[in-house]
Amino acid sequence: MRKKAAITSIMVGLLLFVVWKYSARRVSDLILPQPADVFTVLMEGFIDGYFYPHIMTTLTEIFIGLLIGTVLGIGAGIIIGESAFLRNVFSPYIVISQAIPKIALAPLFMLWFGYGMTSKVVITALVCFFPLLEATASAMRQVNNEQLALFKLMHASRLQTLWHLKIPGGLPSILQGLRVAVILALVGAIVGEFIGANQGLGALITASQSMMDTTLMFAVLIILALIGFLLYGLVNLLEWKLLHLKKGEEKH
Amino acid sequence: MVELELRNVSYQYEKDTFSVQELNWKLHRGEIHCWLGRSGSGKTTLLQLAAGLKQPTGGKVLHQDVPVEEPLSDIGFVFQDATLLQWKKVIDNILLPIQLKRKITEEDIAYAKALLEMLQIQHLFDRYPSTLSGGQKSRVAIARALVTRPTLLFCDEPFAALDLLTKEELQNELLYLNQSKNIAMLFVTHDVSEAAFLADQIGVMEKGAFIYRQQAPDWSNVNSHRRDTPLFRDYCMGIRQSLEETAHA
């Protein structure tokens, strides 16, 4: 079944490629470049090292922003999930801040933190913060009542209950939040670079637009897709390491 | 010696008409008492009151003559769901009550392994709970409840989800543990034959009150195969009738 799905998936990919190739013949290179040309630009860019500083800049922004957003999001999620008082105090503000598109704050952060890496890291951290906050806060409240009673009977402290029960028990939900956050991190970093940057894949897309170099733009988009795929894969790997490997094989 | 006493214990749920009404019960060291009743009869609430997980709105619970004002420590509790932590191995699940109190010693590990052996699951000590069957999980939960060497064990329908054969095996093991370690047990169930097999005394509950109390017959002559005896069948029948009467109460 899985093999059949994989083969079908590859077939769909090939079909899209063929559609791209034949569509590109009918329109100008400025609108839709030939796949072969995009591939050539991609290869040349990697061989002569043109892409590397841009990739490194974007990846650095993503990882630092993701790290800060994850630590703060999980930390705040635990605090809000644990304290009904704080939850009631902060929930209206969380709802309001959710309603504001975080990306819309990017120009403001440029003013506050300048055009360097800091502003992109702040945007990335901010977009990662909320999905992790929500996922962690709800994970803290979804504990099995009998397990909670068991910890009460064992006279576990609040910290022990958190460490031995709530955090490991809530890990699947927290990882779901992380899955959303990694993709948003990529969006945050790129949009930040769109607004003002000299380096990074977002800056390269803006530059290719102003040079009317659609082929280069497509090459960068392919790199971004690969980075997104890689990040998603890393979360899957982390999930496997943390959940399935520890639980062992499920009994059938 | 009285291990646990309920003295005029009442409990009223907020915004709810259900209540436990002025109940009295005495459990002596080494005895097994079963509270039997339909769903919603109040038996689990009473067990939680007895264990200190809930505080009575009237009367008091005494453990070894000391009033219970917080969840009892140094007791074992087995829930309906085995409540094992999926991310910990069997041995770590069993040692959890000790791990939360102090550093685990070699002696603790040896005792946990002895319990596993007694429950015939010594080969599972380094497995994760998701790889175990329902009966194996229940055995691990019993071992965890006993690892602190309690004198009192609470069981809230621990075998309700198991098949008949596994259930009977576990009942035999529980009886053996009760006799070999002189542990008092309060056992909540809705299974008549389970209560009849395990209990020295049975209380049938309905609407938060005991409507029937029964002392077990003398099993000393038929102990090993008591389930197959006419005496056991008659005993079960008597309890069943009292339970059926609760439908008309």
Comparing A121 with B72, which gets the higher pLDDT? A121
| Nearest chain B Cα distance for residue A160, angstroms | 7
Give the residue-averaged pLDDT of A3-29: 88
pLDDT for the residue A251: 44
Q: Give how many domains chain B has, as a whole number.
A: 1
- Domain extent, residue B130, equals 84-149
Query: Does some domain include residue B221?
Result: no
Give B95's pLDDT tier (boundaries 50, 70, 90). Answer: very high
Interface test with A, best of B78, B85, B102, B157 (most A CBs within 10 A): B85
* Candidates B48, B72, B77; nearest CB to A150: B77
Residue of A nearest to B102 (CA): A156
pLDDT for the residue B72: 81
Buried residues in B205-238 as b, exposed as e (16+ CB within 10 A): bbbbbbbbebebeebeeeeeebeeeeebeebbeb
What proportion of chain B, given as a percentage, has pLDDT over 70? 96
* Candidates B51, B81, B96; nearest CB to A146: B81
Query: Does some domain include residue B239?
Result: no
Give the residue-averaged pLDDT of B152-167: 85
- Interface predicted TM-score (ipTM): 0.81
pLDDT for the residue A88: 87
Q: Does A251 sit within 8 Å of B131, measured CB to CB?
A: yes
* Candidates A160, A246, A249; nearest CB to B87: A246
CATH architecture of the domain with range A51-203 = Orthogonal Bundle (1.10)
pLDDT for the residue A231: 92
Q: Taking Cα atoms as reference points, which of B9, B3, B4, B5 lies closest to residue B45?
A: B9
Chain B residues closer than 8 Å to A249 by CB: 130-131
Q: Residues 6 or more apart from A120 whose CB is under 8 A from it?
A: A61, A65, A188, A189, A192, A193, A197, A200
Beta bridge partners of B154: B77, B186
Give the residue-averaged pLDDT of B85-105: 90
| pLDDT surpasses 90 at A35 | no
What proportion of chain A, given as a percentage, has pLDDT over 70? 96
| pLDDT surpasses 60 at A99 | yes
Q: Does B51 sit within 8 Å of A247, measured CB to CB?
A: no
Query: Does some domain include residue B217?
Result: no
Tell me the pLDDT tens digit for each residue of A164-202.
999 999 998 999 999 999 999 999 999 999 888 888 999
Rounded CA-CA distance B75/B152 in Å is 5
pLDDT for the residue B122: 84
Query: Does some domain include residue B133?
Result: yes
Give the residue-averaged pLDDT of A20-44: 87
Interface test with A, best of B70, B100, B132, B144 (most A CBs within 10 A): B100
| pLDDT surpasses 80 at B248 | no
Q: Does A156 sit within 8 Å of B100, measured CB to CB?
A: yes
Tell me the pLDDT tens digit for each residue of A146-156.
888 889 888 89
| pLDDT surpasses 50 at A250 | no
pLDDT for the residue A174: 92
Query: Does some domain include residue B103?
Result: yes
Chain B interface residues (partner A, CB cutoff 8 A): 48, 51, 53, 71-73, 75, 77, 79-81, 83, 85-87, 96-97, 99-101, 127-133
* Candidates A153, A169, A250; nearest CB to B53: A153
Query: Does some domain include residue B89?
Result: yes
Give the residue-averaged pLDDT of A232-250: 75
Give the residue-averaged pLDDT of A10-19: 91
| Nearest chain B Cα distance for residue A247, angstroms | 6
Comparing A188 with B1, which gets the higher pLDDT? A188
Beta bridge partners of B36: B189, B204
| pLDDT surpasses 60 at A113 | yes
Rounded CA-CA distance A172/A174 in Å is 6
Rounded CA-CA distance A203/A224 in Å is 12
| Nearest chain B Cα distance for residue A237, angstroms | 17
Q: Does B81 sit within 8 Å of A144, measured CB to CB?
A: yes
Both structure tokens of A194: 């769109």
Interface test with A, best of B68, B130, B133, B154 (most A CBs within 10 A): B130
* Candidates A153, A156, A164; nearest CB to B77: A153
Task: Please report, for residues A67, A181, A186, B5, the alpha-carbon distance to residue A129 in angstroms, rounded to integers and kept in the order given.
Answer: 10, 8, 13, 52
pLDDT for the residue A155: 87
pLDDT for the residue B17: 67
Q: In this structure, how many other beta carbons lie within 10 angstroms of the beta carbon of residue B64?
A: 14
Indicate the range of A68-72, B84-88, B220-224 predicted with least confidence: B220-224
| pLDDT surpasses 70 at A46 | yes
pLDDT for the residue A228: 92
Give the residue-averaged pLDDT of A72-92: 89
Chain B residues closer than 8 Å to A152 by CB: 53, 71
pLDDT for the residue B70: 83
* Candidates B83, B87, B130; nearest CB to A251: B130
| pLDDT surpasses 80 at B15 | no
| pLDDT surpasses 70 at A246 | no
Rounded CA-CA distance A118/A114 in Å is 7
| Nearest chain A Cα distance for residue B228, angstroms | 34
Predicted structure pTM score = 0.78
Query: Does some domain include residue B156?
Result: no
Query: Does some domain include residue B15?
Result: no
